[in-house]
Amino acid sequence: MPRLILVRHGQSQWNLENRFTGWWDVDVTEKGAAEAFAAGVLLKEKGVLPTVAFTSVQTRAIKTLHLVLEAAGRLWIPETKDWRLNERHYGGLTGLDKAETAARHGEDQVKIWRRSFDTPPPPLEAGSEFDLASDPRYAGIAIPSTESLKDTIARVLPYYETAIVPALRAGETVIVAAHGNSLRALVKHLSGISDADITGLEIPTGQPIIYELDDALAATDRYYLSER
């Protein structure tokens, strides 16, 4: 049966600093690297070994993938990087301290920006310090200025269908190392979670989530590998 492994990147520097990160490229911390390596050790111990890998074009996810694969003895498997697996773009909130933002705009407004399904944060201004227009990894891509979770799902799911589904249908054990919101998109789809409920789903860093799938790629089980 096809199997899908989802791993959210290990703790990043801006996770630690409680800042909105989104598409900005931030590295993992020492703790985040250790979380990723431990995830790979767990995969090896449990005999859940990926045969093909997908990740975003963001450093924290790529490093997490490589540390997971190193620990699992699987650095050699094919991997594909794509911006459509990036984190949700937090627009004008990028780089801001979450507590300071709540103090400035109010807890209720920040909660709407963070947790509503289809209300995006204010757009990032062109030319701001977090403008990615000159980043070569996004050459030729229409970089969003902000995204809601709904917007994020609208780019993640078509990529899943065109790139990841064929690998699963071919019998591969697929690992996706990505981000809280891009993984929410996949979990929502695979587990049939409602628009209202998906915003409250927390995905912890560095904890492999396993999907057992049937031949039609419908989920028959979802669990944290650490709990089996």
Which residues are marked as active site?
9, 87
The closest alpha carbon to 156, from 126, 198, 113, belongs to 198
In the chain, the DSSP E strands lie at 3-8, 52-55, 79-81, 173-178, 209-213, 219-224
Distance CA 133, CA 152 (A): 19
Q: For residue 82, report the phi and psi dihedrals to the nearest 5 degrees.
A: -150, 140
Give the burial string for 158-172 (b: 16+ CB within 10 Å, else e): ebbeeebeebbeeeb
Q: Is 52 exposed, middle or buried (0-12, 13-18, 19+ CB in 10 A)?
A: middle
Report yes or no: 201 and 193 within 8 Å, Cβ to Cβ.
yes
Report yes or no: 180 and 196 within 8 Å, Cβ to Cβ.
no
Q: How many CA atoms lie within 13 A of 19 on its CB side?
A: 14
